[in-house]
Structure 1
Amino acid sequence: MAEHILITGARSVAALDIARSLRVAGFEPHLADCVPARLARWSNSAGPVHRHASPVQQPAAFAAGIRALINRLEPVWIIPTCEEVFHLSALATADGWSDRLLAPRPQPLAELHAKDRFVALCARLGLPTPETRTVTDPADLSQAVTDMGDVVIKPVWSRFGEALISPSPAAVARIRPTGDRPWIVQRRIRGEEVSFHAVAHAGQIAAFSAYGSDWRLPGGAAYALHPLPDPLTTELRRMGDALAPEVGTGQFACDALVDDVGRPWLIECNPRATSGVHRFGADPAFALALIGRGEATPDPTPRHIAPALWRYGLPAALRERRLTGWRRQRRDGLDALTRPGDRAPLAGALIDTLGFALRALRQRQSLTAAMTADIEWNGAPLSPDRWSRP
């Protein structure tokens, strides 16, 4: 009988790619989320999708649902892909199954996720980061902007689309940092944005992919990926190797800016799956690397998420006169969402997005905020009593 592996965050294309890799490698993947996750549910190359409660809105019910899934499926590994990783890490620590969770323990997770603590960690490891200050009131914010000049400002607990780049004085004046909701001010590094994704086991990297992108959403999330030159990949891998012992076991991804002399500066870390998993395709070696049974290297073929390339890339290409580059990406790249004989995830992704858009309208929030509100974590304590058994 094939070993079961549970993948959470089924709403993400990364979860779908991971499930496909595991299935090709001979495992039986199961996916789970607190939303319908039709992009995975409608795929014929992923696996069954289970529903659980939101860890933010119903933490005890979430814990009960995850415990029931683990008891029923007996997975050899649980692989988080989105921000539910923070809740799962706390629950696993409370229940004693951290050794089956592909994620760091709660303390290193928080250190990687918090923008200011990540910069401090890099400083201890001798890794380059922009000058950064944490601000907890408007006076501190104003002084930091005055001292640094050209800056990037973002919440300590933030995600895509929340950074203000070279903000106007009026925009700075609207920000109200507090002790409970601190922000950071970073000296702006001008250059190419690049990223890497890594899988670590016991402090050693088992899979690593570095990539750049000519096509990004506002806020920086890439929806088309291409490999980087070898010297830059080598330098980013050196940074990943330095961070891996701090991660222990888990997935982690970093964004960096490459300045005009070719030096990369780390700016933030996401301790979870990111678009970098798409560079492995449905490679069984990647599946084995995820569960600590081997190593994997990425495929050099460019990748993209087709709906985003059409929805956001084509208007950008027409607006910025980059139609030739857009056509090249479509021609040379592979879609991470669909596969020959498995096209239904495209329709599922579109309906999922519509559902998030309706939620955003009801909650009067942005689409990006609506897509993470039910799973995100912003630094509040996740004490064991949160997971009280029914």
Structure 2
Amino acid sequence: MITDTESAQAPQRILITGGRAPVALEWARLLHRNGHQVYVAESSRYHLCRVSEAVLASFQVPPPRQQPQAYLTALKQLIIQYQIDLLIPTCEEIFYIAEGLEGLQPYCRVLTPNIDTLHHLHHKGTFIEQVISSNLAVPITFPVEDPSIDSYDYAVPDQAGNTFVRKPVYSRFASNVIMPRESRRISAPNKQSTIPTLSTTTQIKATNTKVDSPRWIAQQYIKGKAICTYSIVHQGVVIAHATYTSDYRTSRTGASVYFEAIEHDQAYTWVCQFVQHLHVDHQQTSNSAFSGQISFDFIEEDSTGILYPIECNPRATSGIHLFQRQDQLVQAVIDPDSCVQRRQVIMPNIGTARVLTLPMWVAGFKYNRSTQDWRYWWKSLQQATDVVYQKEDRKPFGEQFRLVMQAYLTSRAQRISLTEALTYDIEWNGKENL
């Protein structure tokens, strides 16, 4: 935690997108408490920020996935009309904003790198390639066909004893992930030729198969502990960072609902090394180093302690909930240059715990199987504070129910899952969708 007092600065006008997400609400509250004026642009009729006391005004805009150009036009109009100083995307609408970055940057600062950088981080295959180029360990990863037509049974161990998870290269909340135990046993006469020949040392630093599948990858299943990070980076330097565990999820592989800050030097060092090697190639960018929000999911292998990256989210994630006002996270986006100059790394207090209470109850009833499970669950719930509910800003808690009901209606109309419905109008699945 940084204990220095925040330098005096004139209040800024901040526009936040993705107002349905708890991370957007967290940003709004942090910025408001530090004296800044907060506006929100969101395509959903109901969203958490709509009723928050921290938000000066909320605007409904066209859905970025279905109407990307109209969405960008609406943002530009809001930026000009309200003289916005900084635009902070929080969810996957960031990809559409990055695609129109050149049209927005003349009017305000935008907290995102360019679309090519975001794409290569978001794509689960090309992300692994970038990790390899940074000389860091990776799980065995290679492209596969659509699992509905793939003849290989990834539940059957290969010659090195590895089994494999299959996942779409574009996904969120671990949707459509197929774990090894879920695979069907199918005859595979030539299966040894299906798996690339790779080193089986504890740190795999090179592959002989380029991951360029447009839809699916297979990835080595690693037994270990899930570790997550959230960082803010400015010109290749980490200026804010949180490492946290996520013991409870909406499903076995789904979105986290419980977050606890931990000390993990290896994870922090890994992030620093990766972003130092991550360069932005863009003719409009004077500095080629990465700047923006970036998050990673890891598995810390039980037997070796090696940290294996699973995926990257180049945007805000739940780690932001672990920061409090006194931690000065706002300084990292309002005046990032000063953080770099003073070599500040803003971190939350170790042991800080936050929870999404409603899905936490769902997770408890779905997965607690013993008295011991319930005791640990209850202890975790008691020590955490709710992400959405705050005594001085209560309305967003009730708004959750409107948001879920709206997503339910969308799921019925589009014949998709409730989780998919929550991001139906903002998700980004490759450049071909633009």
| TM-score for the superposition, normalised by structure 1 | 0.89
Counterparts in 2 of 1:30-179, with a 5 A limit?
30-97=39-106, 100-136=109-145, 141-143=150-152, 145=154, 148=158, 149-160=162-173, 161-170=175-184
Counterparts in 2 of 1:1-390, with a 5 A limit?
2-97=11-106, 100-136=109-145, 141-143=150-152, 145=154, 148=158, 149-160=162-173, 161-170=175-184, 181-218=214-251, 219-228=253-262, 230=263, 233-245=264-276, 246=278, 248-260=290-302, 261-283=304-326, 285-291=328-334, 292=336, 293-294=338-339, 295-300=345-350, 301-317=352-368, 321-381=372-432
TM-aligned CA deviation for residue 180 of structure 1: 7.7
**Which position in structure 1 is the counterpart of 2:205?**
none
Letter in 2 for 1:275: S
Secondary structure, aligned partner of 1:287: helix
Counterpart Cα distance in 2 of 1:298 and 1:71: 35
Letter in 2 for 1:225: F
> Which stretch of the first structure deviates more once superposed, 35-44 or 61-70?
35-44
**Pair 1:164–1:354, CA change in 2 (3 A):** same
**Pair 1:319–1:378, CA change in 2 (3 A):** farther
Is the Cα–Cα contact under 8 Å of residues 87 and 110 in structure 2 kept in the other structure? yes
Letter in 1 for 2:404: T
Letter in 2 for 1:202: Q
Counterpart Cα distance in 2 of 1:372 and 1:96: 26
**Pair 1:139–1:31, CA change in 2 (3 A):** closer
**Pair 1:259–1:97, CA change in 2 (3 A):** farther
Counterpart Cα distance in 1 of 2:148 and 2:419: 29
Is the Cα–Cα contact under 8 Å of residues 144 and 185 in structure 1 kept in the other structure? no
TM-aligned CA deviation for residue 147 of structure 1: 7.1
Alignment RMSD, CA only? 2.5
Counterpart Cα distance in 1 of 2:120 and 2:213: 16
Q: Which runs of 5+ in 1 are unaligned?
A: 174-178
Counterpart Cα distance in 2 of 1:180 and 1:358: 33
> Which stretch of the first structure deviates more once superposed, 52-61 or 294-303?
294-303
Counterpart Cα distance in 2 of 1:325 and 1:138: 37
Counterpart Cα distance in 2 of 1:11 and 1:103: 19
TM-aligned CA deviation for residue 326 of structure 1: 1.8
Counterpart Cα distance in 1 of 2:260 and 2:147: 40
Counterpart Cα distance in 2 of 1:190 and 1:304: 25
Aligned length: 375
TM-aligned CA deviation for residue 99 of structure 1: 7.2
Structure number having the greater helix percentage: 1
**Pair 1:101–1:381, CA change in 2 (3 A):** farther
Letter in 2 for 1:254: F
Is the Cα–Cα contact under 8 Å of residues 38 and 54 in structure 2 kept in the other structure? no
Is the Cα–Cα contact under 8 Å of residues 256 and 265 in structure 1 kept in the other structure? yes
Letter in 2 for 1:58: Q
Counterpart Cα distance in 2 of 1:26 and 1:284: 15
Counterpart Cα distance in 2 of 1:172 and 1:33: 46
TM-aligned CA deviation for residue 327 of structure 1: 1.6
Counterpart Cα distance in 2 of 1:73 and 1:316: 47
TM-aligned CA deviation for residue 364 of structure 1: 0.4
Counterpart Cα distance in 2 of 1:95 and 1:172: 51
Counterpart Cα distance in 2 of 1:200 and 1:39: 26
TM-aligned CA deviation for residue 321 of structure 1: 4.7
Letter in 2 for 1:234: D
Counterpart Cα distance in 1 of 2:354 and 2:13: 28
Letter in 2 for 1:252: I
Is the Cα–Cα contact under 8 Å of residues 152 and 167 in structure 1 kept in the other structure? no
Is the Cα–Cα contact under 8 Å of residues 89 and 98 in structure 1 kept in the other structure? no
Counterpart Cα distance in 1 of 2:89 and 2:240: 16
Is the Cα–Cα contact under 8 Å of residues 64 and 71 in structure 2 kept in the other structure? yes
TM-aligned CA deviation for residue 80 of structure 1: 0.6
Is the Cα–Cα contact under 8 Å of residues 252 and 271 in structure 1 kept in the other structure? yes
Is the Cα–Cα contact under 8 Å of residues 153 and 183 in structure 2 kept in the other structure? no
TM-aligned CA deviation for residue 330 of structure 1: 2.2
Identity in percent = 29
Is the Cα–Cα contact under 8 Å of residues 152 and 186 in structure 2 kept in the other structure? no
> Which stretch of the first structure deviates more once superposed, 270-279 or 236-245?
236-245
Is the Cα–Cα contact under 8 Å of residues 63 and 71 in structure 2 kept in the other structure? yes
Per-residue CA deviations over 1:324-361 (Å, capped at 9, x if unaligned) read: 11221222111111112222111101210111011101
TM-aligned CA deviation for residue 283 of structure 1: 4.3
Is the Cα–Cα contact under 8 Å of residues 258 and 360 in structure 2 kept in the other structure? yes
Counterpart Cα distance in 2 of 1:316 and 1:92: 43
Is the Cα–Cα contact under 8 Å of residues 124 and 312 in structure 2 kept in the other structure? yes
TM-aligned CA deviation for residue 221 of structure 1: 1.5
**Pair 1:252–1:326, CA change in 2 (3 A):** same
